[in-house]
Amino acid sequence: MSPTKESREEAIKRLHRSASALEAKVQADKSVEVAAQKVVGQAYRIIAELLGGVLIGLALGFGVDRLFGTTPIGVVGGVLLGFALSVYMARRTANRLMAQAKAAGLPQQGEPIVEADEENRER
C-alpha cells in the first residue's frame, strides 16, 4: 500500500497547524518558567527578610553592648527584637503575596484544584 498523496495546499495547512501547536507549547512553557522564577524570587525575598532582621538586630545589639558595656544583654535583646521584626515583615510579605494570588484567581492553600474536564467527571 502506498501512502496517500496529499495536495500541496493540504500539506502546507498540516505543517502550519503543527507549527502553531509547537509555538503554543513553547509559549506555555515560557509562561510556566517565568511564573516559577517569580515564585523563587519571592521565596528569596522572604528568606532575606528573615535573615536580615536577625543580623541587623545582632549588629545593633553588639553596638549597644560596646557602647554601654552590657555584654550579653544587648546582643540577646537585639537578636530577639530582630527575629520578631523579621517574622513580622515576612508574614506581611506572605499576606501580600496571598492577596495577589487570590486576586489573580489562583487556588489558595487548602482549596481543591478543580479541573474543567467534563469527561473525567462522568467516569
Q: List pLDDT tens digits, range 57-90.
A: 999 999 999 999 988 899 999 999 999 999 999 9
Report the candidate in 100, 6, 88, 99 with the shortest Cα–Cα distance to residue 46.
88
Is 35 inside any structural domain? no
Is 88 inside any structural domain? yes
State the DSSP string of 81-104.
Answer: HHHHHHHHHHHHHHHHHHHHHHHT
Three-state DSSP class for residue 117: coil
Is 25 inside any structural domain? no
Whole-number percent of the chain with pLDDT over 70: 82
Rounded to whole angstroms, how far apart are CA atoms 55 and 49? Answer: 10
Q: For residue 68, give its domain range.
A: 48-104
The C-alpha cell 492553600 sits at 109
Is 81 inside any structural domain? yes
Report the candidate in 99, 93, 100 with the shortest Cα–Cα distance to residue 53.
93
Q: In total, how many domains does the chain have?
A: 1
Is 120 inside any structural domain? no
Is the pTM for the entire model greater than 0.75? no
pLDDT of residue 123: 46
